[in-house]
Amino acid sequence: MPNWGNRVTMAEHVDPLRELGKVLVVLGVILLGVGAVIMLGGKLPFRLGRLPGDIAVQGKHGSFYFPIVTCLILSVALTLVMWIVNLFRR
């Protein structure tokens, strides 16, 4: 068994309030971005949820709508955001 001396692990230096503050800042930035997209959504050259490739079927007694392209674009965008957040956390 190696002798590590008086080494202190990272878990002993984690301040829970500091971590909570970081999470709240990230959530605030995300909410700010979502709010900006919602506010400016009508002025964009495309409408999320009504992109070419989204599936819309209308029948006599009902309709079905599945925004597959919108889901793919949002997935890529959120993946990039989470990747960038993870990059800055290191």
DSSP-based three-state secondary structure for 72:
helix
Q: How far apart are CA 3 and CA 56, in angstroms?
A: 66
Percent of the chain at pLDDT exceeding 90: 21
Q: How far apart are CA 34 and CA 37, in angstroms?
A: 5
What pLDDT is recorded for position 88?
75
**Poorest-confidence range of 30-39, 44-53, 60-69?**
44-53
The model scores a pTM over 0.85: no
Phi, psi of 2, rounded to the nearest 5 degrees: -70, 150
pLDDT tier at 23 (50, 70, 90 boundaries)? confident
Q: What is the mean pLDDT of residues 29-57?
A: 82
Q: Is the pLDDT of residue 62 over 90?
A: yes
How many other β-carbons are positioned within 10 Å of the β-carbon of residue 43? Answer: 6
Question: Residues 78, 79, 81, 84: what is their CA dihedral angle, to the nearest 10 degrees?
Answer: 170
